[in-house]
Each structure stands twice: as C-alpha cells, then as structure tokens.
C-alpha cells in the first residue's frame, strides 16, 4: 500500500512545496501540520495530498502532527496561488503570512472563552457585606427587586466596574450564578438609529450596484467628501446580508478609521455579528475575529490590508473605503496591494466589489474611464444644507508667518473660537521640529544608522529617527564645534501645539499623531471629545485627514505642503492633491459653512488651481495625460528590484549582474541603470535599486518568470537582502 504524501507549504524563502509522509493522521488539504525542516520544527499548511513523490523513500520525513480544522479552502488557495504567481513570491511564505500569528505557532492556538452571567435566584441586597460595593452594584444590575434580569456579558459587567471578576467569583461561591458561553462579538451600539433620507444620487448608486449583485463587477464609487459614501455601504449591506446567508468584507486603509466605521456599522446593522481585524488587536483578539470570519459566524468583517486574506466561506460582497490610500500597499514580505488582491478575489468568487474615494487613484480612474470598471458618482453632500468648503491659499511670501502661522490664519481661528466653532490645523510631520541646527558651523543632527536627519522631540529631550527608530539625548553643545547655541528648526505637530497654547491660552487644544495616540482607545476617546465640543482646535497629521465627520468644524488650516510640490517621486502631486482634498473635506460637513486656508509660497501652482475649483476629474485627466506622455503607470508597468547589504559594493555587484541577466532574456522590457533610492542608507544597510518597465503586463510577467530563477542562482543572492516589488509605489 502506497504511503500518503502531504505536500506542505512552509514559511521559507524557497519557491517549492515540500513532501512529507503521513504517519496515520487523518489529513485534509488546508489543515495545518507540524514538520521537521532543516533541524527545526515548523508549522506548515497542506496544499496537496498525493501518493507520489520525487523524494527517495529513505529521505522522506514524516509529519509530526496534524491540527484539526481547515484554515484555507479551495477558493483561498486559488487566491494565494495567484498572489504567489503575480508577485513572484514563494507560495509557502504567502500562505503562512495570511494566517494570524497564533496559527503560525506550534503551541495549540486557543481563544479566550467569553461568558454571560445571570442569577439563578434572587438575592437579598441587605444580606451582602456592606463594604463590597461592587458586589452590590452587580447584584442590582442582575436583578430587579425580587425578579432576576436577563444575563449580562463580560463587556457589560466591565462597564459597571473593573473589579467585576472578584464579585462574580463571590456569586459563584454562593452557588447562585448561571454561566453561559457566548460568541465574543460586541453587541450593536444603539447610538445611531435614525435612518438618514437618501438623496437621488445615493439611490441611483445603490440601484446600479444591486442590479448586478450576483456577478463580478468592479465599481468605482467616486463621491466628494461628505457625500454619504458610508451610508451607501450600509444600505448595500442591508440588502445583500438580508437576502441570503452571506458575509461582507470591508477594507479600510488605517486602524484609526476602524473605530468610527465600526461604530456606525454596529449601530445600523446590529442584527449582523461583526468582527474587526487590524494591528491594534491583541493576538488573541485577532485569532478570535479570524475564526469568527472563517466559520461564517461574523457576517461583517472590517479590517486593514491583511484582512483581504481572511477566510470567509460565504463572502458575497467586498467594499473598499478610501481605495486610493497608499496604506493598502504592503511594504515588507510579499509586496501585495490589498485593493488589487480584493479585485481578484471578487473575480474568482464572481461577486461585486465597490471601491469608494473622493480622490480615486489614477490606476482606478484610468480603468473606470476605459469602462472596465463601473463609474458611480456622488457630486452632492449628503446633508442637504451642507456645502463644499471654500478653499483659499495664503501667500506666505507676502504674509510672513509667526512661528509657522500666518496672521490671516490666526485671525480666522480666533473668530471660530468666539463663535463656538472648531478648527483643524493639518501638518503631516510629527515631533517638535524636523531639524536640530548649529548656527555657528551649520551642523544638523544626523541619524547614525540612516541617511536621514533626527527629529527633535523636545518634551522627551530626545532626538529620534522616524525611519529606523534610533533615539539619543539632545546634545548640550554642537559635537562639531562645541557651540552651545543649538536650535530646533522648522515646524512639527508638537511645536505647533505649543504655539497655539501660547496664542490661545483659554482654548482647548488637542493633538492627534502617532506620539499622542498610542493605544486603540485613545483616538476613540479624543474623537468623542471633539463631537462633544470639548475641543476648540485640533492639530494633527494624516491620521485626521480622512474618514472623520466633525459637524462643528468649520475651518481647516494647512500649514506646510510646499516640499511635496517638487518631489522627485512622480506620484507626489497625486498624493498631495488627494491629501489636501481629504483634509479639506473635514470642514463644513453640516449646516455651518466651511473654509480651508492653505499656507504656501506657490499659490499659483496648477495643483492649487485645481483644489480651489474642487474638480478632481479635470486634474486627474491632466495627470493621466502626463503619465501617458512619460510612459509611466498606469499606462505602463513597473517593477523594482531592491537590494541592501552592509557595503554598497555588494549591492552594486548584485544589481549589475541582474542587469546583464535581464538583457539576455528580452528586449521588450526596459531595464534602467542601478540607482540609490532617496533613503540611501537605512538601519546601517546600504541600499540600491533597479527599475524595470514594460508596456505589456503579460510580456512583463513572462520575462520575470525567466529572470527570477536566475536572480536566485546568483552567488551574491544569499549574501545580501533583496526583494522584487511589483507595481511599486515608493522609490
């Protein structure tokens, strides 16, 4: 009788699967296994089961353990195979990376069970110890006079007191408690039960999507800020989830957008269990959410880019919010783009996918204009009385700034405070100042590990590198000339916050950046204060630029954008326009009119003309014409070979050999000379890169399938770090 052979995908940088003999375990494709590889035990996933192998019988290792439960079905393997092929990445590594961390570990993955509690009989409050106030409060919550109330979840008990566990233990000892295991998904919040009235545009969009809800169709939902795209998502899900036993996946670009969206979906779709997947969750919480999605219990899954690989057996619709956002592109491991993977997943499952944005990416806009995607427009704000904000530029060449703020902007903020309205100042640079400078010898504080300058964090008396994480104390004198007169130069959020405190001592000022928002509840709490009008002025980075709805915010000030106007990155102007349109959209979303003031030295720049006109379509079409003339994406295709080593000579030798190999394969792919990226050294590693360009995607990938094995065979390939980035967005 032939041995059963399990073909296993492992988290190793080799482009093949590995054969192991099954030693009597009951095994299925998609289950996890423990196997021995190169002297260590690894968790792998069974990709195929066969009875043949090319491995000699005496060298064939045996599977050590098979975990119960399929983690990936045939549809997910189809998607993972596509990823491995398109991104030229090992299938085993792609498969393991798609799992939650707990499922990649040999130790059995366990989720913490959650319970609801009820009293089995009434309790006389007077009989309880007088000093145990928490116990008394919980008993009162679990009963009403002489009758027992319905059970309370652990989350509800925690709202009563953080010491609820001790009280529950006491009730267990009294033998008067009923305990029931529950699925640990938060109940729907009852905070937004008013059904908004849809305008004609929203109704037309919903009808268009639902008319083709049973087949693959990519839709671009192009809607101005405040046009009610989220309400469209909710109405679509109401129909899709009600008509069948279905699931829906909602992708958001960043964690900070999750709480607000989650709250709205929980309140408006409270009958459907919802799970979230993002990096702020603990590993136990992430595993629990992933399992709820994989069993079909969670009907709605909201997550960041990795959740595009969530196992969802009943998936019937995918929604992508802010589809243009660069956060959807993974920048380590497999360099996938979650939007593109979501589109392929929808195609394989034959389901619709809706991509929403006020400033669509040029790639998506290009395909919509070619009618490969359906184009849906929302040109009006959802609140009938709300108008688009007026956008104006302040020429800081003619109106000099005081500590980074122009007199006009200061005056307008003062007026908003008098009227009880809110202002937002946008500065996409955290810290106190971007440079520490010596006025005597012109020294600036460099990072010792990167080709970057250290950022001043004055409150912590630290200099920090925002690229590699290096930190050091602020020196008391210049290390080059000994001058004690070192000064921070330039504006960042902490310095701007201090300036505002000095200018408006009675105002409530809040800062939102990665330094001030360190845990998953901090942003939610701060946003609540904004909605409760406990904040007069908000200072923030791009964390505040999109997705948030502040009804009392009427002024947005943009502090510094000029550096992005003349960037060597060909996508810089697209990103800047999108960012400014998004942050401008925070103003005037309710009845009160909004205004946006942009401080710049170049008020007549074409980008600002387009912003003032608030006409994305005209600007996007102009950018597409530029890209087409330059033969840049989306009308051509790029790949970037990135390499790094302790010395640049090794990097250059590897890249030069790669050029020579490429030139032997095809003349249809243009291979540029090796160059250093903008960040030449990162974390003590010297970096270089090689750009490849082709006019045909099919020709490009045919070339790459021949070229990649030759790259791996190079002598230097195992001595340096290198990766191929398909469709790169950073150079």
Banded model confidence at residue 189, pLDDT cuts 50, 70, 90 = very low
Confirm whether 200-378 and 390-431+491-628 share one CATH topology.
yes
Banded model confidence at residue 519, pLDDT cuts 50, 70, 90 = low
Banded model confidence at residue 386, pLDDT cuts 50, 70, 90 = low
* pLDDT score of 384: 67
Least confident of 65-74, 102-111, 312-321, 337-346: 102-111
More confident: 5 or 153? 5
Q: At the fourth CATH level, which superfamily is domain 5-104?
A: PriA, 3(prime) DNA-binding domain (3.40.1440.60)
The residue-averaged pLDDT of 412-427 equals 94
DSSP string, 440-468: TT--B-B-SSSSSBPEEEGGGTEEE-TTT
Banded model confidence at residue 188, pLDDT cuts 50, 70, 90 = very low
The CA distance from 613 to 611, in Å, is 5
The CA distance from 641 to 687, in Å, is 11
pTM attached to this predicted model: 0.88
Burial state string for 409-418 with b = 16 or more CB within 10 A and e = fewer than 16: bbebbeebbe
More confident: 512 or 711? 711
* pLDDT score of 176: 85
How far, CA to CA in Å, does 456 sit from each of 426, 436, 463, 487, 679? Answer: 19, 6, 5, 10, 19
- Read off the pLDDT of residues 106-152 as tens digits, 9 standing for 90 and up: 987 766 667 788 888 888 877 888 788 888 888 888 887 667 777 88
Instruction: State both tokens at 323.
Output: 């589809």
**Is pLDDT of 53 > 70?**
yes
The residue-averaged pLDDT of 162-178 equals 86
Looking at residue 405, the DSSP 8-state letter turns out to be B
* pLDDT score of 589: 65
Contact 633, 363 (CB under 8 A): yes
* pLDDT score of 191: 46
**Is pLDDT of 478 > 80?**
yes
Instruction: State both tokens at 10.
Output: 């492992």
How remote is the C-alpha of 212 from its chain's centroid?
A: 29
**Is pLDDT of 284 > 90?**
no
* pLDDT score of 16: 93
Banded model confidence at residue 590, pLDDT cuts 50, 70, 90 = low
Looking at residue 255, the DSSP 8-state letter turns out to be G
Considering the chain, what is the average pLDDT of its residues? 90
Banded model confidence at residue 583, pLDDT cuts 50, 70, 90 = confident
CB proximity list for 664: less than 8 A, separation 6 or greater? none
Question: What fold, for 200-378?
Answer: Rossmann fold (3.40.50)
The residue-averaged pLDDT of 644-670 equals 94
Residue 180, φ and ψ in degrees, nearest 5: -125, 130
The residue-averaged pLDDT of 559-571 equals 85
One CATH from 2.60.120.10, 3.30.70.360, 1.10.1740.10, 1.20.120.80 for 637-726: 3.30.70.360
Q: Domains of the chain: which residue ranges?
A: 5-104, 114-182, 200-378, 390-431+491-628, 435-489, 637-726
The residue-averaged pLDDT of 39-50 equals 95
Q: Parallel, antiparallel, or unpaired for β 177-182 and 685-694?
A: unpaired
Banded model confidence at residue 190, pLDDT cuts 50, 70, 90 = very low
Percentage helix, strand, coil, to 5, in the chain?
35, 25, 40
Maximal C-alpha separation, the chain: 90
One CATH from 3.40.50.2300, 3.40.190.10, 3.20.20.70, 3.40.50.300 for 390-431+491-628: 3.40.50.300
Banded model confidence at residue 186, pLDDT cuts 50, 70, 90 = very low
Among residues of the chain, what percentage have pLDDT more than 90?
Answer: 66
Best CA proximity match to 324, nearest among 729, 725, 731: 729
Banded model confidence at residue 172, pLDDT cuts 50, 70, 90 = confident
The residue-averaged pLDDT of 538-565 equals 83
* pLDDT score of 702: 96
More confident: 346 or 518? 346
Secondary structure class of 155 (helix, strand, coil): helix
DSSP string, 484-549: S-EEEES--HHHHHHHHHHH-TTS-EEEESTTT--STTHHHHHHHHHHTT--SEEEESGGGTSS--
């Amino acid at each position: 009788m032939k041995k059963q052979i399990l073909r296993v995908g492992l988290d190793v940088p080799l482009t093949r699967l590995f054969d192991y003999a099954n030693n009597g375990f009951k095994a299925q494709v998609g289950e996890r296994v423990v196997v021995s590889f190169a002297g260590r035990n690894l968790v792998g996933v069974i990709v195929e089961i066969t009875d043949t192998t090319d491995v000699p019988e005496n060298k064939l290792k045996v599977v050590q353990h098979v975990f119960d439960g399929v983690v990936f079905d045939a549809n997910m393997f189809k998607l993972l195979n596509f990823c491995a092929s398109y991104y030229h990445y090992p299938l085993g590594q792609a498969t393991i990376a798609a799992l939650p961390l707990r499922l990649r570990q040999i130790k059995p993955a366990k989720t913490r069970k959650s319970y609801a509690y009820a009293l089995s009989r009434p309790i006389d409050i007077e009989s309880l110890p007088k000093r145990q106030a928490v116990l008394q409060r919980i008993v009162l919550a679990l009963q009403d006079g002489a009758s027992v109330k319905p059970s309370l979840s652990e989350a509800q008990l925690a709202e009563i007191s953080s010491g609820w566990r001790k009280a529950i233990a006491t009730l267990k000892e009294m033998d008067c408690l009923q305990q029931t295991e529950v699925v640990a998904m938060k109940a729907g919040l009852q905070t937004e039960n008013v059904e908004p009235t849809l305008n004609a545009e929203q109704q037309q969009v919903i009808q268009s999507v639902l008319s083709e809800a049973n087949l693959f169709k990519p839709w671009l939902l192009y809607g101005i800020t405040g046009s009610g795209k989220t309400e469209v998502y909710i109405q679509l899900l109401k129909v899709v989830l009600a008509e069948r036993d279905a699931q829906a996946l909602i992708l958001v670009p960043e964690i900070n957008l999750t709480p607000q969206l989650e709250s709205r979906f929980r309140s408006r779709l409270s009958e459907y269990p919802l799970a979230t997947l993002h990096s702020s969750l603990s590993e136990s919480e992430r595993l629990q959410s992933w399992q709820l999605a994989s069993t079909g219990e969670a009907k709605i899954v909201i997550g960041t880019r990795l959740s595009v690989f969530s196992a969802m057996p009943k998936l019937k619709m995918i929604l992508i919010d802010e589809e243009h956002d660069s956060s959807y592109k993974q920048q380590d491991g497999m360099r996938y783009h979650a939007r593109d993977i979501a589109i392929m997943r929808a195609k394989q499952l034959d389901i619709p996918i809706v991509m929403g944005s006020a400033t669509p990416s040029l790639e998506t806009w290009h395909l919509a204009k070619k009618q490969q995607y359906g184009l849906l427009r929302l040109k009006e704000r959802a609140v009938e009385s709300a108008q688009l904000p007026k956008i104006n530029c302040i020429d800081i060449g003619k109106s000099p700034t005081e500590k980074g703020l122009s007199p006009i902007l200061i005056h307008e903020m003062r007026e908003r405070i008098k009227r009880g309205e809110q202002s937002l100042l946008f500065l996409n640079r955290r810290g106190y100042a971007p440079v520490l400078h010596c006025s005597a010898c012109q020294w600036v504080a460099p990072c010792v590990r990167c080709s970057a300058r250290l950022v001043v964090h004055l409150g912590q008396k630290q200099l920090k590198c925002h690229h590699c994480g290096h930190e050091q104390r602020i020196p008391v004198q210049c290390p080059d000339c000994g001058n004690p007169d070192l000064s921070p130069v330039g504006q960042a959020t902490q310095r701007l916050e201090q300036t505002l405190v000095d200018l408006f001592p009675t105002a409530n000022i809040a800062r939102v950046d990665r330094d001030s928002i360190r845990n998953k509840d901090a942003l939610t709490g701060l946003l609540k204060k904004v909605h409760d009008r406990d904040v007069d002025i908000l200072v923030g980075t791009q964390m505040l630029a999109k997705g948030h709805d502040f009804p009392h915010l009427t002024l947005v000030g943009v502090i510094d954008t000029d550096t992005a106007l003349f960037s060597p990155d060909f996508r810089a102007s697209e990103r800047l326009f999108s960012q400014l349109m998004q942050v401008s959209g925070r103003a005037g979303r309710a009845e009160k009119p909004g205004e946006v003031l942009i401080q710049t030295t170049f008020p007549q720049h074409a980008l600002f003309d387009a912003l003032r006109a608030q006409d994305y379509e005209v600007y996007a079409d102009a950018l597409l014409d530029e890209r087409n003339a330059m033969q840049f994406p989306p009308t051509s295709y790029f790949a970037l070979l990135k390499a790094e080593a302790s010395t640049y000579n090794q990097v250059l030798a590897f890249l030069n050999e790669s050029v020579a190999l490429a030139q032997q394969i095809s003349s249809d792919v243009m291979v540029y000379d090796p160059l250093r990226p903008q960040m030449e050294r990162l974390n003590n590693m010297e970096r270089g890169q090689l750009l490849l360009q082709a006019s045909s995607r099919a020709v490009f990938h045919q070339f790459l399938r021949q070229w990649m094995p030759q790259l791996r065979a190079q002598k230097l390939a195992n001595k340096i770090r290198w990766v191929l980035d398909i469709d790169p967005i950073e150079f």
